Amino acid sequence: MWDDEVDVVCCGSGFGALAAAVAAADAGLDVHIVRPGEPRPVTPGPETPWLGVGVDDPETRDYFDALSADLTPLVDTEYDSALTVRVVSEWTPVSGRGRIAPFYGARLQDWAQRCLTSPYGVLYTRLADRGTTSMRSGTGEEIQVKMLGALETATAADTTAVLGDWLSAQVRDRQIPAVDNGTLQRLVFEEGEILGAVIDTADGPLALRARHGVAVSTEPHPDATSAADQPIEPGKLVQVGLVGYSASRFGRLELLELGRDGSGSGYCNSGRVHDSKRESGRSPARRGREMHRYPPFGQ
């Protein structure tokens, strides 16, 4: 039944799919990107789903809707397309023998909504070890981070355009295969576990088995606040990373900056790029953990 078998399938027009593909390739996984010719815009309405706009397959629809069932209705939600620059207190991993990080299950719902209302968000269908590192944010909270690389510009430029070009270059450098003008038709389930995805292409359906799961990026919102006038400060070096909470299926692409003495810098507070002081996080449960068809919310 399968046309091809890979480790990870990354679907969507958002930056989250590209970032997830780069992270998976760096982990030595076999990755396939699926990009639609035109983004599927999210137009809020009473029946508009949070995830999988345009996907009609009942089983896939039930899965997406179950993950977002407890969120504020989409029509009542405010979108913001600004890219977050997060201050971290240090680049070194948080460590400590026998240390058990606190688990804030109640915050997973808030984190899921923040990822879904951002054009930089991504959903992972499987909780697995994605090679993230536990780090301290500028507010002292522990987050899970997968570093993708460093970004620097010589002149003031639009943040979104610079980051998009940077991600595209990373994909090309890693020679990650891509299906252009393809859209997600459905996820393939077996006994509640997602085995892969079927993609609609110009040449007909393409069935891709995904040994390590599927990553689905959030889609653009037509009424979101524009971030086109938010430049990266010339000469400023920032790290590009996928950020998340432990035990959450949701992640978000962010820029990370090292703060002095664990505090935020003037750059992050200047208004040039949206600075989120709230906790964020994504991340792994352990490799091989079973992915249930209808997981607890936010996981």
Q: List pLDDT tens digits, range 135-154.
A: 878 777 788 899 999 988 77
Lowest mean pLDDT among 94-108, 120-134, 171-185, 255-269: 255-269
Dihedral sign (CA 101, 106, 112, 117) = negative
Distance between CA 7 and CA 208 in Å, rounded? 10
Are the C-beta atoms of 220 and 119 separated by less than 8 Å? yes
Range of the domain at 47: 4-258
Tokens 């299906």, residue?
179
Whether residue 250 lies inside any domain: the answer is yes
| Assigned domain for 292 exists | no
Q: Token pair of 125, please?
A: 């269908």
User: From residue 91, how far is each of 87, 209, 239, 259 by CA, in Å?
Assistant: 10, 35, 10, 10
pLDDT at 296 (0 to 100): 34
**Phi and psi torsions of 129, nearest 5°:** -75, 110
pLDDT beyond 50 at 288: no
Rounded to 5°, the CA angle 39-35-109 comes to: 70
**pLDDT tops 60 at residue 178:** yes
Whether 277 maps to a domain, the answer reads no
Q: What is the pLDDT of residue 276?
A: 38
Domain-embedded: residue 64: yes
Let me know if residue 105 belongs to a domain.
yes
Residue 10 has pLDDT above 90, yes or no: yes
What is the predicted pLDDT for the residue at 68? 82
d(C-alpha 150, C-alpha 253), whole Å: 13
SS3 call for 21: helix
Our count of domains for the chain comes to 1
Structural domain contains residue 59: yes
DSSP, collapsed to helix, strand or coil, labels residue 262 as helix
Residue 106 maps to a domain: yes
**Which string of DSSP letters, residue by residue, matches 164-226?**
HHHHHHHHHHTT--EEET-EEEEEEEETTEEEEEEEEETTEEEEEEETT-EEEE----TTSBP
Report the pLDDT value the prediction gives residue 7, as an integer from 0 to 100.
96
User: How would DSSP label each residue in 86-123?
Assistant: EEES-SSPP--TT------GGGHHHHHHHHHTSTTEEE
Read off the pLDDT of residues 13-39 as tens digits, 9 standing for 90 and up. 889 999 999 999 999 999 999 998 766
In a domain, 298, yes or no: no
Report the DSSP beta bridge partners of residue 123: 216, 250
